[in-house]
Structure 1
Amino acid sequence: MKNILYVDDEEMNLMLFETMFSKSCKVNTASNGQTALDLLTKIDKPEVVISDMKMPGMDGLEFISKASEVYPDIEYYILSGYEISQRVREALNSGLVKKYFQKPFRKRELEAILN
Structure 2
Amino acid sequence: MATPPSDSSPINVCIIEDHSDFRNTLRAAINAAPSLQCNAAFSNAEDAFEYLNESGAPDIIVLDLGLPGMDGIEAIPKLRELAPETKVLILTVFENKTRVLQALGAGASGYLMKASGIKSIIQGIEDAHNGIAPLSAEIAQMVFATFRAFKPVSHEAEISDREVEVLQKLADGATRIEVADQLHVSRHTIDSHIRNIYRKLQVHNVSGAITKAAAMHII
Same fold (TM over 0.5): yes
**TM-score in terms of structure 1 length:** 0.86
Shift of residue 2 of structure 1? 0.7
* CA deviation string 1:2-38 (max 9, x = no partner): 1101101111111111111113322120110101111
Could you tell me which residue of structure 2 aligns to residue 12 of structure 1? 21
Question: CA RMSD, aligned part only?
Answer: 1.8
Higher RCO (CA-CA < 8 Å; seq separation 6+): 1
Amino acid at match of 1:49: I
Which secondary structure state, in structure 2, belongs to the residue aligned with residue 104 of structure 1? helix
Shift of residue 71 of structure 1? 1.5
Shift of residue 82 of structure 1? 2.2
Shift of residue 102 of structure 1? 1.4
Judged with a 3 Å threshold, the aligned counterparts in structure 2 of structure 1 residues 3 and 15 are, in CA distance, closer, same or farther, namely: same
Judged with a 3 Å threshold, the aligned counterparts in structure 2 of structure 1 residues 100 and 57 are, in CA distance, closer, same or farther, namely: same
Q: Percent identity?
A: 24
> What count of residue pairs does the alignment treat as equivalent?
114
Could you tell me which residue of structure 2 aligns to residue 106 of structure 1? 117
Unaligned runs of 5+ in 1: none
* CA deviation string 1:64-106 (max 9, x = no partner): 21110122211111122122341331332x3701111112341
* CA deviation string 1:37-74 (max 9, x = no partner): 11112334211001100011111111221110122211
* Larger fraction in helix: 2
**TM-score in terms of structure 2 length:** 0.48
Amino acid at match of 2:115: P
C-alpha distance in 1 between matches for 2:77 and 2:96: 17
Could you tell me which residue of structure 2 aligns to residue 30 of structure 1? 42
Unaligned runs of 5+ in 2: 1-9, 127-219
**2:97 aligned with 1:88:** no
Amino acid at match of 1:17: L
4-13 vs 75-84, greater mean Cα deviation: 75-84
Could you tell me which residue of structure 2 aligns to residue 97 of structure 1? 108
Counterpart of 2:71 (choices 59, 72, 76) is 59
* Contact 1:3/1:44, CA 8 A, preserved across alignment: no
Structure (1 or 2) with the larger CA radius of gyration? 2
* Contact 1:37/1:63, CA 8 A, preserved across alignment: no
**2:88 aligned with 1:79:** no
Could you tell me which residue of structure 1 aligns to residue 52 of structure 2? 40
